[in-house]
Amino acid sequence: MAIQIPRGTQDILPGDVETWQWIEQKAYDLCRRYNYQEIRVPMFEHTELFLRGVGDTTDIVQKEMYTFEDRGGRSLTLRPEGTASVTRAYVSNKLYGQANQPTKLFYIGPMFRYERPQSGRMRQFVQFGVEALGSADPAIDAEVLALVMRFYEELGLKNLKLVINSLGDTDSRLAHREALVNHFKPRIHEFCNDCQDRLEKNPLRILDCKKDRDHELMGTAPSIHDYLSTESKAYFEKVQSYLTALNIPFVVDATLVRGLDYYNHTAFEVMVDGEAFGAITTLCGGGRYNGLVEEIGGPETPGIGFALSIERAIMALEAQQAKPAHNQAIDCYVVTLGEAAKDKGVELVYQLRNAGISAEKDYLDRKMKGQLKAADRLHAKWTVILGEDELAVGKVNVKNMETGEQTDVALTDLVSHMKQQVEGGNES
């Protein structure tokens, strides 16, 4: 029996991988403009990092992590998200000591969560994320929000919706926490086991429960906005004023809490309305996480970031029929007839590739008709035909597959001739 792919994973094949490359290149280009530098962190970390960084009351830590012991008895976990790992790298490598601050980083890579696979939710998925560490200026909150909105806009997505909230500072959160406990405690027995467990540990997470979201107490729960300190209110108002100045539309939603324990102050999600999703669907989430660096052993450092799923971005593009077409044509296909020509063809293809020209040849001993069909399937712009007669006089026949124009070119001049043709075609 053939070995099957693990559940919740996918093979990204030629024809589809070009879309991934295109999206990733958009991310690279945008981060360059915003002066964010790439960081690459390990795919697995010590489990303690996620217990302390993500939070032991989160679904990720309680239910979804791929955790294992190595041969030395150490508990390791495949990274379920990127912020904790990037923050750990920031501390481990003392990036807070560098002259250029704040430290502005981005990453693109696979994450792993053990959850029920469904459309847009895989066990191995790819995230593009941004982290800005070292500044408590609300202007950098606006910068991060502007970056992620611009990313989706440059992909060509429409009907985007930016939803923001403030989770407040420590004092605000403590006051709101007490109010939530008093609100839910008398009837907590009506809620799921997870919510009952969260009541004392992190009651804010009850508001994020999918099972009990329709319970009547959810709609009457105390709002964080009623408990924001003067400083927290001023901070959130400043973020909103920057977004308004940048002409970035947004909606304030006091019920937005996000699913990770480390968030405070600004929290946000980017949503899209697409028929294929059936409803408005979250594409991206993030927020400010002042305190996370200290939690994992670093100095007091404010931070803010976001993470988005490349898979969900592709789903949105497909739903809006905005998925780009990719030109997979090669520059030329070398057709050879006879053993001597076949041997020479190996050299010609090598020389063309070294000159920056995409080239291919036959490796299946096909007749001329079969080779021309192969050239057509590869959308070759030119064919180079070399047979015994051409080899005898030191020439090849070069055919423009679009116009049908044919030219005899000396073998010694083929590379320079093709470079001229390709560069001329690119200019046009």
Q: What is the pLDDT of residues 207-259, one digit of tens each?
A: 777 788 888 888 888 888 888 999 999 999 999 999 999 999 999 998 887 65
Tens of pLDDT, residues 381-426: 999 999 999 999 999 999 999 999 999 999 999 999 999 999 986 6
> Mean per-residue pLDDT for 366-391?
96
Annotated binding site: 81-83, 113, 127, 131, 258, 262-263
Domains and CATH numbers, the chain: 17-169+229-319 (3.30.930.10), 332-427 (3.40.50.800)
Q: Give pLDDT tens digits for 27-74.
A: 999 999 999 999 999 999 999 999 988 876 677 888 899 999 999 999
Mean pLDDT of the chain: 91
Q: Annotated binding site for L-histidine: which residue ranges? A: 81-83, 113, 127, 131, 258, 262-263
pLDDT at 428: 44
pLDDT above 70: residue 274? no
What does the CA dihedral 347, 349, 350, 355 come to, rounded to 10 degrees? 130
The tokens for 393 are 């006089």
40 half-sphere exposure, CB direction, 13 A CA radius: 1
| d(C-alpha 407, C-alpha 126), whole Å | 48
Q: What is the pLDDT of residues 284-298, one digit of tens each?
A: 999 999 989 999 999
Q: Which of 190-194, 357-361, 377-381, 387-391 has the lowest mean pLDDT?
A: 190-194
Instruction: Check if the beta carbon of residue 191 is closer than 8 Å to that of residue 206.
Output: yes
Instruction: Record the pTM.
Output: 0.89
Query: Measured between alpha carbons, how far is residue 335 from residues 330, 341, 352, 368 in Å?
Result: 14, 9, 14, 7
Please give the single-letter amino acid code of residue 168.
Answer: G
* pLDDT for 190 beyond 80: yes
Taking residues 162-174, what's their average pLDDT? 90
